[in-house]
Structure 1
Amino acid sequence: MSSRKPIPEPGERKLPRRPASELAEKWTRIDGVDVFYRESPNPTKDERVMAHVHGFGLSGRYLLPTAERLADEFHTYVPDLPGFGRSGKRRDMLDIPDLARAAVDFFDDRGVEKATLVGNSMGCPVIIEFAHRYPERIDRAVLVSPAGGLFNQPLRRAIKQLSQDAPREPVKMARVAVPDYVRFGVPSTMKMFRSLTQYPSLQRLLEMRIPTLVVLGQRDPLLPHAHRVDEIASQTDSHVLVVMLEGAAHAINFSHPGQLAHVIRHFMDDLPIENDPAWPGHVRLYEVHRGKHHPPAQPRG
Protein backbone atom coordinates (compact mmCIF):
# COMPACT_ATOMS: atom_id res chain seq x y z
CA MET A 1 0.00 0.00 0.00
CA SER A 2 1.31 3.43 -0.88
CA SER A 3 0.10 7.03 -0.67
CA ARG A 4 2.52 8.35 -3.26
CA LYS A 5 1.32 9.72 -6.55
CA PRO A 6 2.55 7.56 -9.45
CA ILE A 7 4.79 9.01 -12.10
CA PRO A 8 3.06 9.02 -15.52
CA GLU A 9 4.50 6.68 -18.13
CA PRO A 10 6.35 8.37 -21.01
CA GLY A 11 3.86 9.83 -23.46
CA GLU A 12 0.92 9.41 -21.08
CA ARG A 13 -1.48 12.32 -21.22
CA LYS A 14 -1.46 14.22 -17.95
CA LEU A 15 -4.85 14.72 -16.36
CA PRO A 16 -5.86 17.85 -14.43
CA ARG A 17 -4.42 17.86 -10.92
CA ARG A 18 -6.71 20.54 -9.50
CA PRO A 19 -8.95 18.92 -6.86
CA ALA A 20 -12.39 18.34 -8.37
CA SER A 21 -14.16 17.54 -5.13
CA GLU A 22 -14.61 18.31 -1.48
CA LEU A 23 -13.63 14.70 -0.84
CA ALA A 24 -10.00 13.94 -0.10
CA GLU A 25 -8.03 12.72 -3.14
CA LYS A 26 -5.78 9.74 -2.42
CA TRP A 27 -3.72 7.00 -4.04
CA THR A 28 -2.98 3.43 -3.08
CA ARG A 29 -1.30 0.50 -4.85
CA ILE A 30 -3.10 -2.83 -5.24
CA ASP A 31 -1.60 -5.85 -7.02
CA GLY A 32 1.00 -3.64 -8.67
CA VAL A 33 -1.55 -1.11 -9.99
CA ASP A 34 -1.81 2.48 -8.78
CA VAL A 35 -5.44 3.14 -7.81
CA PHE A 36 -6.85 6.65 -7.41
CA TYR A 37 -9.81 7.24 -5.13
CA ARG A 38 -11.69 9.91 -3.20
CA GLU A 39 -12.78 9.57 0.42
CA SER A 40 -14.74 11.46 3.04
CA PRO A 41 -12.25 13.91 4.57
CA ASN A 42 -13.20 13.30 8.22
CA PRO A 43 -14.97 9.95 8.55
CA THR A 44 -15.99 8.58 11.94
CA LYS A 45 -15.77 4.96 13.04
CA ASP A 46 -19.50 4.53 13.50
CA GLU A 47 -20.47 5.76 10.02
CA ARG A 48 -21.88 3.29 7.52
CA VAL A 49 -19.56 2.78 4.54
CA MET A 50 -20.82 3.69 1.06
CA ALA A 51 -18.82 3.28 -2.15
CA HIS A 52 -19.82 4.73 -5.53
CA VAL A 53 -19.02 2.66 -8.66
CA HIS A 54 -18.69 4.44 -12.01
CA GLY A 55 -19.92 3.52 -15.47
CA PHE A 56 -18.49 2.40 -18.79
CA GLY A 57 -15.25 4.14 -19.83
CA LEU A 58 -15.62 6.78 -17.13
CA SER A 59 -13.87 7.75 -13.92
CA GLY A 60 -15.60 8.35 -10.60
CA ARG A 61 -15.56 12.10 -11.18
CA TYR A 62 -19.11 12.35 -12.55
CA LEU A 63 -20.42 10.55 -9.44
CA LEU A 64 -19.12 13.28 -7.13
CA PRO A 65 -22.21 15.55 -7.10
CA THR A 66 -24.23 12.77 -5.45
CA ALA A 67 -21.37 11.32 -3.39
CA GLU A 68 -20.56 14.71 -1.86
CA ARG A 69 -24.15 15.15 -0.71
CA LEU A 70 -23.95 11.86 1.21
CA ALA A 71 -20.40 12.19 2.52
CA ASP A 72 -21.47 13.76 5.82
CA GLU A 73 -23.74 10.81 6.61
CA PHE A 74 -21.69 7.90 5.26
CA HIS A 75 -18.01 7.04 5.12
CA THR A 76 -17.78 7.62 1.39
CA TYR A 77 -15.40 6.19 -1.21
CA VAL A 78 -15.33 7.01 -4.93
CA PRO A 79 -12.60 4.90 -6.59
CA ASP A 80 -11.45 4.87 -10.19
CA LEU A 81 -11.41 1.14 -10.87
CA PRO A 82 -8.22 -0.25 -12.47
CA GLY A 83 -8.12 0.64 -16.17
CA PHE A 84 -10.40 3.65 -15.73
CA GLY A 85 -9.87 7.34 -15.01
CA ARG A 86 -6.65 8.19 -13.23
CA SER A 87 -5.96 4.65 -12.00
CA GLY A 88 -3.36 2.51 -13.71
CA LYS A 89 -4.14 -0.10 -16.34
CA ARG A 90 -3.71 -3.83 -16.14
CA ARG A 91 -2.08 -5.80 -18.93
CA ASP A 92 -5.12 -8.05 -19.17
CA MET A 93 -8.39 -6.27 -19.92
CA LEU A 94 -10.83 -6.32 -17.03
CA ASP A 95 -14.33 -7.74 -17.44
CA ILE A 96 -17.33 -7.56 -15.07
CA PRO A 97 -16.13 -10.35 -12.70
CA ASP A 98 -12.62 -8.85 -12.71
CA LEU A 99 -13.98 -5.43 -11.76
CA ALA A 100 -16.01 -6.95 -8.92
CA ARG A 101 -12.80 -8.59 -7.70
CA ALA A 102 -10.99 -5.26 -8.03
CA ALA A 103 -13.67 -3.66 -5.86
CA VAL A 104 -13.30 -6.24 -3.10
CA ASP A 105 -9.50 -5.89 -3.32
CA PHE A 106 -9.96 -2.15 -2.83
CA PHE A 107 -12.07 -2.77 0.27
CA ASP A 108 -9.46 -5.20 1.61
CA ASP A 109 -6.79 -2.57 1.05
CA ARG A 110 -8.86 0.06 2.89
CA GLY A 111 -9.83 -2.28 5.74
CA VAL A 112 -13.55 -2.18 4.87
CA GLU A 113 -15.46 -5.30 5.91
CA LYS A 114 -18.89 -4.41 4.51
CA ALA A 115 -20.40 -1.54 2.54
CA THR A 116 -23.39 -0.28 0.60
CA LEU A 117 -22.55 0.03 -3.09
CA VAL A 118 -24.04 2.74 -5.32
CA GLY A 119 -23.48 2.22 -9.05
CA ASN A 120 -24.40 3.92 -12.29
CA SER A 121 -24.67 2.24 -15.71
CA MET A 122 -21.86 -0.37 -15.97
CA GLY A 123 -21.27 0.04 -12.25
CA CYS A 124 -24.57 -1.79 -11.67
CA PRO A 125 -23.51 -5.14 -13.19
CA VAL A 126 -20.25 -4.79 -11.24
CA ILE A 127 -22.26 -4.44 -8.03
CA ILE A 128 -24.56 -7.33 -8.98
CA GLU A 129 -21.51 -9.55 -9.56
CA PHE A 130 -19.99 -8.30 -6.30
CA ALA A 131 -23.16 -9.34 -4.44
CA HIS A 132 -23.15 -12.72 -6.22
CA ARG A 133 -19.54 -13.55 -5.39
CA TYR A 134 -19.06 -11.75 -2.08
CA PRO A 135 -22.50 -11.55 -0.42
CA GLU A 136 -21.00 -11.17 3.05
CA ARG A 137 -19.24 -7.96 1.98
CA ILE A 138 -22.27 -5.96 0.80
CA ASP A 139 -24.97 -4.42 2.98
CA ARG A 140 -27.30 -2.86 0.38
CA ALA A 141 -27.20 -2.13 -3.35
CA VAL A 142 -28.26 1.01 -5.20
CA LEU A 143 -28.43 0.49 -8.97
CA VAL A 144 -28.84 3.73 -10.91
CA SER A 145 -29.59 3.42 -14.65
CA PRO A 146 -28.29 -0.17 -14.94
CA ALA A 147 -26.79 -0.89 -18.36
CA GLY A 148 -25.97 -4.00 -20.34
CA GLY A 149 -27.86 -7.01 -21.62
CA LEU A 150 -29.98 -7.50 -24.73
CA PHE A 151 -31.53 -4.02 -24.73
CA ASN A 152 -28.11 -2.47 -25.45
CA GLN A 153 -27.04 -4.94 -28.16
CA PRO A 154 -25.53 -4.77 -30.73
CA LEU A 155 -22.86 -2.09 -30.43
CA ARG A 156 -24.44 0.13 -33.09
CA ARG A 157 -27.66 0.15 -31.09
CA ALA A 158 -25.81 1.13 -27.93
CA ILE A 159 -24.02 3.92 -29.81
CA LYS A 160 -27.38 5.20 -31.09
CA GLN A 161 -28.79 5.12 -27.55
CA LEU A 162 -25.79 7.04 -26.24
CA SER A 163 -26.15 9.64 -28.99
CA GLN A 164 -29.80 10.07 -28.01
CA ASP A 165 -28.86 10.42 -24.36
CA ALA A 166 -26.09 13.00 -24.84
CA PRO A 167 -28.33 16.04 -25.53
CA ARG A 168 -30.52 15.05 -22.56
CA GLU A 169 -27.62 15.40 -20.12
CA PRO A 170 -26.24 18.66 -18.68
CA VAL A 171 -23.66 20.34 -20.93
CA LYS A 172 -21.12 20.11 -18.11
CA MET A 173 -21.30 16.32 -18.26
CA ALA A 174 -19.37 16.34 -21.57
CA ARG A 175 -16.47 18.19 -19.92
CA VAL A 176 -16.14 15.29 -17.50
CA ALA A 177 -16.99 12.37 -19.79
CA VAL A 178 -15.10 13.17 -23.00
CA PRO A 179 -11.58 13.18 -21.46
CA ASP A 180 -12.41 9.92 -19.67
CA TYR A 181 -13.63 8.25 -22.89
CA VAL A 182 -10.55 9.41 -24.80
CA ARG A 183 -8.28 8.02 -22.14
CA PHE A 184 -10.16 4.71 -22.02
CA GLY A 185 -9.62 4.21 -25.76
CA VAL A 186 -11.31 2.32 -28.59
CA PRO A 187 -9.74 -1.15 -28.01
CA SER A 188 -10.77 -1.11 -24.35
CA THR A 189 -14.25 0.07 -25.34
CA MET A 190 -14.78 -2.89 -27.68
CA LYS A 191 -13.58 -5.46 -25.14
CA MET A 192 -15.50 -3.96 -22.24
CA PHE A 193 -18.70 -3.61 -24.27
CA ARG A 194 -18.58 -7.30 -25.15
CA SER A 195 -18.20 -8.24 -21.49
CA LEU A 196 -20.94 -5.86 -20.37
CA THR A 197 -23.57 -7.03 -22.84
CA GLN A 198 -22.81 -10.72 -22.28
CA TYR A 199 -23.05 -10.48 -18.51
CA PRO A 200 -26.26 -12.14 -17.11
CA SER A 201 -27.39 -9.05 -15.15
CA LEU A 202 -31.07 -10.02 -14.90
CA GLN A 203 -30.41 -13.57 -13.70
CA ARG A 204 -27.95 -12.34 -11.07
CA LEU A 205 -30.27 -9.53 -9.99
CA LEU A 206 -33.15 -11.94 -9.40
CA GLU A 207 -30.82 -14.10 -7.28
CA MET A 208 -29.81 -11.23 -4.98
CA ARG A 209 -31.21 -11.35 -1.46
CA ILE A 210 -30.13 -8.00 -0.06
CA PRO A 211 -32.21 -4.79 -0.01
CA THR A 212 -31.80 -3.32 -3.49
CA LEU A 213 -32.87 0.06 -4.83
CA VAL A 214 -33.10 0.57 -8.61
CA VAL A 215 -33.37 4.20 -9.79
CA LEU A 216 -34.37 4.85 -13.40
CA GLY A 217 -34.53 8.03 -15.44
CA GLN A 218 -37.82 8.54 -17.27
CA ARG A 219 -35.89 10.05 -20.26
CA ASP A 220 -33.17 7.38 -20.40
CA PRO A 221 -32.93 5.86 -23.92
CA LEU A 222 -30.60 3.09 -22.70
CA LEU A 223 -33.32 1.42 -20.62
CA PRO A 224 -36.64 -0.32 -21.40
CA HIS A 225 -39.93 1.39 -20.60
CA ALA A 226 -41.12 1.43 -16.98
CA HIS A 227 -43.82 -1.21 -17.55
CA ARG A 228 -41.15 -3.65 -18.80
CA VAL A 229 -39.00 -2.87 -15.75
CA ASP A 230 -41.98 -3.61 -13.49
CA GLU A 231 -42.62 -6.86 -15.35
CA ILE A 232 -39.01 -7.92 -14.84
CA ALA A 233 -38.87 -6.81 -11.21
CA SER A 234 -42.08 -8.75 -10.47
CA GLN A 235 -40.22 -11.99 -11.20
CA THR A 236 -38.73 -11.75 -7.73
CA ASP A 237 -40.59 -11.35 -4.45
CA SER A 238 -37.64 -10.66 -2.22
CA HIS A 239 -35.68 -7.47 -2.43
CA VAL A 240 -36.15 -4.91 -5.20
CA LEU A 241 -37.52 -1.38 -4.87
CA VAL A 242 -37.74 0.37 -8.25
CA VAL A 243 -38.10 4.16 -8.38
CA MET A 244 -38.60 6.32 -11.48
CA LEU A 245 -37.24 9.88 -11.61
CA GLU A 246 -39.09 12.10 -14.04
CA GLY A 247 -37.00 14.60 -15.97
CA ALA A 248 -33.82 12.50 -15.72
CA ALA A 249 -31.91 10.59 -18.40
CA HIS A 250 -28.97 8.17 -17.84
CA ALA A 251 -26.35 10.01 -15.75
CA ILE A 252 -28.65 10.69 -12.79
CA ASN A 253 -25.75 10.81 -10.32
CA PHE A 254 -24.49 13.90 -12.17
CA SER A 255 -27.67 15.53 -13.46
CA HIS A 256 -29.99 15.09 -10.44
CA PRO A 257 -27.72 14.63 -7.40
CA GLY A 258 -30.10 16.26 -4.93
CA GLN A 259 -33.01 14.00 -5.83
CA LEU A 260 -30.84 10.88 -5.99
CA ALA A 261 -29.19 11.58 -2.62
CA HIS A 262 -32.68 12.18 -1.22
CA VAL A 263 -34.05 8.81 -2.35
CA ILE A 264 -30.88 6.97 -1.25
CA ARG A 265 -31.20 8.44 2.26
CA HIS A 266 -34.83 7.32 2.47
CA PHE A 267 -33.95 3.85 1.18
CA MET A 268 -31.08 3.47 3.65
CA ASP A 269 -33.37 4.38 6.55
CA ASP A 270 -36.39 2.41 5.25
CA LEU A 271 -38.49 5.56 4.94
CA PRO A 272 -41.27 6.17 2.39
CA ILE A 273 -40.11 7.54 -0.95
CA GLU A 274 -41.44 11.09 -0.88
CA ASN A 275 -41.00 14.09 -3.13
CA ASP A 276 -39.58 17.36 -1.87
CA PRO A 277 -42.06 20.21 -2.57
CA ALA A 278 -39.09 22.50 -3.32
CA TRP A 279 -38.18 20.52 -6.45
CA PRO A 280 -39.08 21.90 -9.91
CA GLY A 281 -42.45 20.78 -11.24
CA HIS A 282 -40.90 18.55 -13.95
CA VAL A 283 -38.93 16.53 -11.40
CA ARG A 284 -40.59 13.96 -9.18
CA LEU A 285 -40.05 10.46 -7.90
CA TYR A 286 -42.51 7.60 -7.87
CA GLU A 287 -42.36 3.90 -7.12
CA VAL A 288 -42.60 1.47 -10.03
CA HIS A 289 -42.23 -1.71 -7.98
CA ARG A 290 -41.71 -2.78 -4.36
CA GLY A 291 -40.73 -6.38 -3.67
CA LYS A 292 -42.92 -8.26 -1.19
CA HIS A 293 -40.04 -8.94 1.14
CA HIS A 294 -38.37 -5.55 0.80
CA PRO A 295 -37.96 -3.90 4.23
CA PRO A 296 -41.25 -2.07 4.85
CA ALA A 297 -41.07 1.69 4.69
CA GLN A 298 -41.32 3.21 8.14
CA PRO A 299 -43.35 6.43 8.51
CA ARG A 300 -41.58 9.48 9.82
CA GLY A 301 -41.92 9.89 13.54
Structure 2
Amino acid sequence: MKVREAAEFTEAAGTRVHAAVLGPAGAPDVVCVPGLGCSHRYFLPLARRLASEARVAAVDLPGFGRTRGPREPLDVRGLSRALADWLRATGRGGALLIANSAGCQVVVDLAVHSPDLLGPVLLNGPTMDRHARSPLRQLGRLLVDGPRERPTLGLVLARDYVDAGPRRVLGTFRHLLADPIERKLHHLRTPTVVVRGDRDPVVPRSWAREVVALLPDGRFAEVPGAGHTLNYSAPAELAGIALALLAEWRSGHRRES
Protein backbone atom coordinates (compact mmCIF):
# COMPACT_ATOMS: atom_id res chain seq x y z
CA MET A 1 0.00 0.00 0.00
CA LYS A 2 1.34 3.42 -0.92
CA VAL A 3 2.18 5.63 2.04
CA ARG A 4 0.72 9.10 1.68
CA GLU A 5 2.33 12.22 3.04
CA ALA A 6 0.66 15.00 5.00
CA ALA A 7 1.57 18.64 4.39
CA GLU A 8 2.74 20.37 7.57
CA PHE A 9 3.24 24.16 7.74
CA THR A 10 5.04 25.81 10.65
CA GLU A 11 5.76 29.46 11.37
CA ALA A 12 9.55 29.51 11.66
CA ALA A 13 12.61 31.27 10.29
CA GLY A 14 10.54 34.28 9.29
CA THR A 15 8.39 32.30 6.89
CA ARG A 16 5.91 29.42 6.76
CA VAL A 17 8.03 26.29 6.50
CA HIS A 18 6.55 23.29 4.71
CA ALA A 19 7.41 19.68 5.42
CA ALA A 20 5.98 16.47 4.02
CA VAL A 21 5.29 14.18 6.98
CA LEU A 22 4.87 10.42 6.79
CA GLY A 23 4.62 7.67 9.38
CA PRO A 24 2.77 7.10 12.64
CA ALA A 25 2.59 9.70 15.39
CA GLY A 26 4.70 8.66 18.34
CA ALA A 27 7.29 6.85 16.23
CA PRO A 28 10.94 8.06 16.38
CA ASP A 29 11.47 11.31 14.48
CA VAL A 30 13.53 11.43 11.31
CA VAL A 31 14.21 14.70 9.47
CA CYS A 32 15.34 14.77 5.83
CA VAL A 33 17.41 17.78 4.70
CA PRO A 34 17.54 18.26 0.91
CA GLY A 35 20.39 19.24 -1.38
CA LEU A 36 20.86 22.16 -3.76
CA GLY A 37 17.60 23.44 -5.23
CA CYS A 38 15.67 20.40 -4.04
CA SER A 39 12.40 19.98 -2.21
CA HIS A 40 10.76 17.30 -0.10
CA ARG A 41 9.77 15.53 -3.32
CA TYR A 42 13.09 13.87 -3.99
CA PHE A 43 13.15 12.47 -0.45
CA LEU A 44 9.77 10.76 -0.75
CA PRO A 45 11.09 7.37 -1.96
CA LEU A 46 13.27 7.14 1.17
CA ALA A 47 10.59 8.59 3.44
CA ARG A 48 8.11 5.93 2.30
CA ARG A 49 10.63 3.21 3.12
CA LEU A 50 11.12 4.62 6.61
CA ALA A 51 7.50 5.42 7.38
CA SER A 52 6.62 2.01 8.82
CA GLU A 53 9.14 2.52 11.66
CA ALA A 54 9.59 6.28 11.95
CA ARG A 55 7.79 9.61 11.79
CA VAL A 56 9.55 11.22 8.83
CA ALA A 57 9.55 14.92 8.01
CA ALA A 58 11.06 15.99 4.68
CA VAL A 59 11.51 19.73 5.09
CA ASP A 60 11.55 22.44 2.41
CA LEU A 61 14.16 25.02 3.41
CA PRO A 62 13.35 28.70 2.73
CA GLY A 63 13.17 29.44 -0.98
CA PHE A 64 12.67 25.84 -2.04
CA GLY A 65 9.71 23.55 -2.57
CA ARG A 66 6.63 24.94 -0.86
CA THR A 67 8.48 27.27 1.54
CA ARG A 68 8.79 30.90 0.54
CA GLY A 69 12.21 32.44 1.03
CA PRO A 70 13.71 35.92 1.13
CA ARG A 71 14.50 37.76 -2.07
CA GLU A 72 18.23 37.03 -1.79
CA PRO A 73 19.36 33.37 -1.61
CA LEU A 74 20.40 32.32 1.87
CA ASP A 75 23.98 31.23 2.47
CA VAL A 76 24.83 28.03 4.34
CA ARG A 77 24.63 29.72 7.73
CA GLY A 78 21.27 31.25 6.83
CA LEU A 79 19.91 27.85 5.79
CA SER A 80 21.24 26.12 8.90
CA ARG A 81 19.76 28.80 11.18
CA ALA A 82 16.42 28.36 9.40
CA LEU A 83 16.66 24.61 9.96
CA ALA A 84 17.47 25.20 13.65
CA ASP A 85 14.49 27.52 14.08
CA TRP A 86 12.18 24.98 12.45
CA LEU A 87 13.53 22.09 14.56
CA ARG A 88 12.86 24.09 17.72
CA ALA A 89 9.43 25.24 16.57
CA THR A 90 8.32 21.69 15.76
CA GLY A 91 9.98 19.99 18.73
CA ARG A 92 12.12 17.81 16.50
CA GLY A 93 15.45 18.53 18.15
CA GLY A 94 17.35 15.26 18.65
CA ALA A 95 15.79 13.60 15.59
CA LEU A 96 17.85 11.48 13.24
CA LEU A 97 18.97 13.92 10.54
CA ILE A 98 19.39 12.50 7.04
CA ALA A 99 20.98 14.91 4.58
CA ASN A 100 21.89 14.52 0.94
CA SER A 101 24.60 16.40 -0.94
CA ALA A 102 24.46 20.13 -0.11
CA GLY A 103 22.06 19.34 2.73
CA CYS A 104 25.07 17.78 4.45
CA GLN A 105 26.73 21.19 4.51
CA VAL A 106 23.64 22.64 6.18
CA VAL A 107 23.59 19.94 8.86
CA VAL A 108 27.32 20.27 9.56
CA ASP A 109 26.89 24.03 9.92
CA LEU A 110 23.96 23.41 12.28
CA ALA A 111 26.39 21.61 14.57
CA VAL A 112 28.51 24.77 14.85
CA HIS A 113 25.82 26.95 16.44
CA SER A 114 23.09 24.57 17.65
CA PRO A 115 24.66 21.27 18.78
CA ASP A 116 21.79 20.79 21.24
CA LEU A 117 19.48 20.03 18.31
CA LEU A 118 21.50 17.12 16.99
CA GLY A 119 20.59 13.48 17.22
CA PRO A 120 22.44 10.92 15.11
CA VAL A 121 23.33 12.07 11.61
CA LEU A 122 23.48 10.37 8.23
CA LEU A 123 25.42 12.29 5.56
CA ASN A 124 24.67 10.92 2.09
CA GLY A 125 27.19 12.21 -0.45
CA PRO A 126 28.53 15.23 1.48
CA THR A 127 29.65 18.15 -0.69
CA MET A 128 31.81 20.06 -1.49
CA ASP A 129 34.90 17.95 -2.15
CA ARG A 130 37.68 20.37 -1.22
CA HIS A 131 39.85 18.89 -3.96
CA ALA A 132 37.34 19.93 -6.64
CA ARG A 133 35.82 23.15 -5.32
CA SER A 134 35.08 24.85 -8.63
CA PRO A 135 31.87 25.32 -10.62
CA LEU A 136 33.12 23.49 -13.71
CA ARG A 137 34.38 20.45 -11.84
CA GLN A 138 31.23 20.15 -9.77
CA LEU A 139 28.92 20.55 -12.75
CA GLY A 140 30.98 18.06 -14.73
CA ARG A 141 30.63 15.51 -11.96
CA LEU A 142 26.88 16.06 -11.77
CA LEU A 143 26.56 15.44 -15.50
CA VAL A 144 28.46 12.18 -15.17
CA ASP A 145 26.18 11.14 -12.32
CA GLY A 146 22.91 11.72 -14.21
CA PRO A 147 22.80 8.37 -16.06
CA ARG A 148 23.58 6.54 -12.81
CA GLU A 149 20.34 7.68 -11.17
CA ARG A 150 16.74 6.58 -11.67
CA PRO A 151 15.48 8.28 -14.87
CA THR A 152 12.56 9.96 -13.10
CA LEU A 153 14.93 11.90 -10.82
CA GLY A 154 15.52 14.37 -13.64
CA LEU A 155 11.81 15.20 -13.76
CA VAL A 156 11.69 15.80 -10.01
CA LEU A 157 14.77 18.04 -10.08
CA ALA A 158 13.51 19.98 -13.09
CA ARG A 159 10.29 20.82 -11.27
CA ASP A 160 12.17 21.81 -8.11
CA TYR A 161 14.62 24.03 -10.00
CA VAL A 162 11.79 25.77 -11.84
CA ASP A 163 9.97 26.37 -8.55
CA ALA A 164 13.09 27.83 -6.93
CA GLY A 165 14.15 29.82 -9.98
CA PRO A 166 17.60 29.96 -11.59
CA ARG A 167 18.72 33.02 -9.63
CA ARG A 168 18.17 31.31 -6.28
CA VAL A 169 19.70 28.01 -7.39
CA LEU A 170 22.83 29.65 -8.81
CA GLY A 171 23.18 32.01 -5.85
CA THR A 172 22.91 29.10 -3.41
CA PHE A 173 25.43 27.13 -5.45
CA ARG A 174 27.95 29.97 -5.10
CA HIS A 175 27.41 30.01 -1.34
CA LEU A 176 27.93 26.26 -1.16
CA LEU A 177 31.20 26.47 -3.09
CA ALA A 178 32.47 29.02 -0.58
CA ASP A 179 31.61 26.85 2.43
CA PRO A 180 34.64 24.96 3.87
CA ILE A 181 32.82 21.98 5.37
CA GLU A 182 36.12 20.31 6.29
CA ARG A 183 36.83 23.06 8.83
CA LYS A 184 33.56 22.44 10.68
CA LEU A 185 33.26 18.65 10.84
CA HIS A 186 34.83 18.50 14.31
CA HIS A 187 31.73 20.25 15.67
CA LEU A 188 29.56 17.27 14.68
CA ARG A 189 30.00 15.14 17.81
CA THR A 190 27.03 12.79 17.58
CA PRO A 191 27.27 9.36 15.89
CA THR A 192 27.51 10.03 12.15
CA VAL A 193 27.47 7.73 9.15
CA VAL A 194 28.93 9.01 5.88
CA VAL A 195 27.47 7.02 3.01
CA ARG A 196 28.02 7.15 -0.73
CA GLY A 197 27.07 5.08 -3.74
CA ASP A 198 30.13 3.32 -5.08
CA ARG A 199 29.46 4.88 -8.50
CA ASP A 200 29.09 8.43 -7.16
CA PRO A 201 31.34 10.79 -9.16
CA VAL A 202 30.33 13.85 -7.11
CA VAL A 203 31.72 12.42 -3.87
CA PRO A 204 34.72 10.16 -4.53
CA ARG A 205 35.56 7.49 -1.97
CA SER A 206 38.72 9.35 -0.98
CA TRP A 207 36.75 12.49 -0.09
CA ALA A 208 34.08 10.55 1.81
CA ARG A 209 36.78 8.83 3.86
CA GLU A 210 38.43 12.17 4.52
CA VAL A 211 35.12 13.47 5.89
CA VAL A 212 34.85 10.42 8.16
CA ALA A 213 38.39 10.93 9.45
CA LEU A 214 37.56 14.51 10.46
CA LEU A 215 34.45 13.51 12.44
CA PRO A 216 34.72 12.79 16.18
CA ASP A 217 32.38 9.79 15.87
CA GLY A 218 32.17 8.94 12.18
CA ARG A 219 31.96 5.77 10.16
CA PHE A 220 31.81 4.96 6.48
CA ALA A 221 29.26 3.02 4.44
CA GLU A 222 28.93 2.41 0.71
CA VAL A 223 26.04 1.21 -1.45
CA PRO A 224 27.11 -0.97 -4.39
CA GLY A 225 26.05 0.05 -7.88
CA ALA A 226 24.55 3.40 -6.83
CA GLY A 227 25.23 7.03 -7.69
CA HIS A 228 24.97 10.26 -5.73
CA THR A 229 21.30 10.51 -4.76
CA LEU A 230 20.72 7.38 -2.70
CA ASN A 231 17.55 8.78 -1.12
CA TYR A 232 15.89 8.64 -4.53
CA SER A 233 17.72 5.96 -6.50
CA ALA A 234 18.58 3.47 -3.73
CA PRO A 235 16.04 4.20 -0.98
CA ALA A 236 15.80 0.66 0.39
CA GLU A 237 19.55 0.42 0.96
CA LEU A 238 19.75 3.89 2.53
CA ALA A 239 16.73 3.17 4.73
CA GLY A 240 18.47 0.07 6.09
CA ILE A 241 21.53 2.09 7.05
CA ALA A 242 19.39 4.84 8.61
CA LEU A 243 17.24 2.47 10.67
CA ALA A 244 20.30 0.65 11.98
CA LEU A 245 21.79 3.97 13.09
CA LEU A 246 18.51 5.00 14.71
CA ALA A 247 18.18 1.69 16.57
CA GLU A 248 21.74 1.96 17.84
CA TRP A 249 21.14 5.52 19.03
CA ARG A 250 17.91 4.63 20.83
CA SER A 251 19.50 1.59 22.43
CA GLY A 252 22.36 3.70 23.76
CA HIS A 253 19.93 6.23 25.23
CA ARG A 254 17.92 3.48 26.94
CA ARG A 255 21.09 2.13 28.57
CA GLU A 256 22.04 5.62 29.77
CA SER A 257 18.63 6.18 31.32
Alignment map for 1:185-224 (pairs within 5 Å): 185-224=165-204
- Higher radius of gyration, 1 or 2: 1
Separation in structure 1 between the aligned mates of residue 132 and residue 25 of structure 2, nearest angstrom: 38
1:145 and 2:125 equivalent? yes
| CA 203–246 in structure 1, closer or farther in 2 if over 3 Å, else same | same
Give the AA of the match of 2:193.
L
Counterpart secondary structure, 1:243: strand
Are 1:151 and 1:222, in contact at CA under 8 Å, matched by a contact in 2? Answer: no
The correspondence for 2:247, drawn from 249, 264, 269, is: 269
The correspondence for 2:213, drawn from 219, 224, 234, is: 234
**TM-score in terms of structure 2 length:** 0.89
The correspondence for 1:104, drawn from 84, 94, 100, is: 84
Displacement, 1:269?
A: 2.3
Which structure would you say has the larger RCO, counting Cα contacts within 8 Å and 6 or more residues apart?
A: 2
1:28 and 2:10 equivalent? yes
Displacement, 1:64?
A: 1.0
Displacement, 1:75?
A: 2.2
The correspondence for 1:42, drawn from 24, 35, 38, is: 24
Counterpart secondary structure, 1:51: strand
* Structure 2: gaps (5+ residues): 253-257
Separation in structure 2 between the aligned mates of residue 151 and residue 216 of structure 1, nearest angstrom: 17
2:113 corresponding residue in structure 1:
133
Separation in structure 2 between the aligned mates of residue 156 and residue 180 of structure 1, nearest angstrom: 22
Displacement, 1:123?
A: 0.6
Separation in structure 2 between the aligned mates of residue 105 and residue 54 of structure 1, nearest angstrom: 16
* Structure 1: gaps (5+ residues): 1-19, 272-294, 297-301
Q: Which runs of 4+ in 1 moved over 6 A?
A: none
1:156 corresponding residue in structure 2:
136
Separation in structure 2 between the aligned mates of residue 235 and residue 57 of structure 1, nearest angstrom: 27
Give the AA of the match of 1:214.
V
Displacement, 1:152?
A: 4.2
Separation in structure 2 between the aligned mates of residue 174 and residue 72 of structure 1, nearest angstrom: 27
1:245 corresponding residue in structure 2:
223
1:16 corresponding residue in structure 2:
none
> Deviations along 1:112-141, whole A, 9 cap, x unmatched?
342221000011011111122111111111
Q: Quick one: percent identity of the two aligned structures?
A: 31
Displacement, 1:95?
A: 1.0
Displacement, 1:156?
A: 1.6
Separation in structure 2 between the aligned mates of residue 265 and residue 57 of structure 1, nearest angstrom: 26
> Deviations along 1:68-105, whole A, 9 cap, x unmatched?
21123222211111101121121232111111111111
Counterpart secondary structure, 2:119: strand
Separation in structure 2 between the aligned mates of residue 81 and residue 21 of structure 1, nearest angstrom: 23
Counterpart secondary structure, 2:184: helix
**TM-score in terms of structure 1 length:** 0.77
Displacement, 1:191?
A: 1.7
Displacement, 1:21?
A: 6.0
Displacement, 1:32?
A: 4.3
1:177 corresponding residue in structure 2:
157
Are 1:59 and 1:80, in contact at CA under 8 Å, matched by a contact in 2? Answer: yes
Separation in structure 2 between the aligned mates of residue 265 and residue 144 of structure 1, nearest angstrom: 14
Alignment map for 1:87-102 (pairs within 5 Å): 87-102=67-82
Q: How many residues align?
A: 250
Separation in structure 1 between the aligned mates of residue 120 and residue 49 of structure 2, nearest angstrom: 18
Separation in structure 2 between the aligned mates of residue 227 and residue 149 of structure 1, nearest angstrom: 9
